[in-house]
Amino acid sequence: MSLRINDVAPDFTAETTQGPIHFHEWIGDGWAVLFSHPKDFTPVCTTELGTMAGLEPEFKKRGVKILGLSVDPVDSHSKWAKDIEDVTGHQVKYPLIGDPELKVAKLYDMLPADSGNTSEGRTPANNAAVRTVFVIGPDKQIKLQLIYPMSTGRNFNEILRAVDSVQLTAKHKVSTPANWNPGDEIIISGAVSNEDAAKLFPGFKTVKPYIRTAAQPK
């Protein structure tokens, strides 16, 4: 079964660069970003993990933990860390899952079931599907899922922006329009009557009968 938005994120135990974790317990009452990469000691992945390391303080401000994953063993991640810091100037302080038996990658539908049971001998091309991002809420449900091709590095500022939107819309009866950024106007949910909208969003604007905008609530 493919994972979809609002599915409960599969729970698992795994070894990481910071010791063993039980995923749902590790998330606790906060939010989490689980992101994977095809292989250690590869160029795009080096830039990605360093970029995420640089943004970690911003995720922490939002109560979001970061967890990386690849099918390489934990000791490979640890050896690679120096290269990431040399190239990007950022030290990876978040945990990285070692998944050499492909268990978590398969659990999250990053690799097909017939991929075998070991990372030994696998190339980045074999692992091309493993460039995935999951944003998971305090209820342990999947709030967002992104899959990128192996040759395209991810825009982690966009993932941060998406987290801002997901957290805002979880708290208020609103949606965010295309290219929204924090502080921009929001769209009022269709489930909110005009009478209630006037109380919740004083001065809201009706663009079309089905589009009502207002200042972002706090």
- Report the percent of the chain where pLDDT is more than 90: 84
- Count the residues in the chain: 218
Annotate 2-54 with three-state secondary structure. Answer: CCCCCCECCCCEEEEECECEEHHHHHCCCEEEEEECCCCCCHHHHHHHHHHHH
Residue 159, both tokens:
């993932």
pLDDT digits (tens, 9 = 90+) for 30-75: 999 999 998 999 999 999 999 999 999 999 999 999 999 999 999 9
Residue 150: CB atoms within 10 Å: 18
> Mean pLDDT score of the chain, rounded to an integer?
93
pLDDT tens track for 113-124 = 666 666 666 666
The pair of structure tokens assigned to 10 is 């599969």
Query: Global pTM?
Result: 0.90
Least confident of 58-62, 129-133, 140-144: 129-133
- Residue 112 in this model has a pLDDT that exceeds 70: no
Q: Residue 33's pLDDT is what?
A: 98
Residue 165: closest CA among 180, 154, 146: 180
3-state helix, strand, coil in the chain (%, to 5): 30, 25, 45
CB under 8 Å to 210, separation ≥6 — which residues? Answer: 190
Task: Pick one of 1.10.3720.10, 3.40.50.720, 3.30.1020.10, 3.30.2140.20 as the CATH number of 172-214.
Answer: 3.30.1020.10
DSSP notation for 128-145? TT--EEEEE-TTSBEEEE
Task: State the Rg of the chain over Cα.
Answer: 19
> Exposed (0-12), middle (13-18) or buried (19+): which is 43, by Cβ within 10 Å?
exposed
Question: What amino acid occupies position 214?
Answer: A
- With 0-12 / 13-18 / 19 or more C-beta atoms within 10 angstroms meaning exposed / middle / buried, residue 112 is exposed
In this chain, the answer to whether the domains covering 13-154 and 172-214 adopt an identical fold is no
| Class of the CATH domain delimited by 13-154 | alpha beta
Please, which pLDDT band fits residue 110 given cuts at 50, 70 and 90? confident
pLDDT for position 2: 85
Neighbours of 138 (CB within 10 A): 13
Task: Provide the residue ranges of all domains of the chain, joining segments of one domain with +.
Answer: 13-154, 172-214
Question: Is 45 marked active-site?
Answer: yes
| pLDDT for residue 117 | 66
What type of residue is 177? P
Q: Which of 9, 27, 45, 69 is catalytic?
A: 45
Q: What is the reported pLDDT for 195?
A: 96
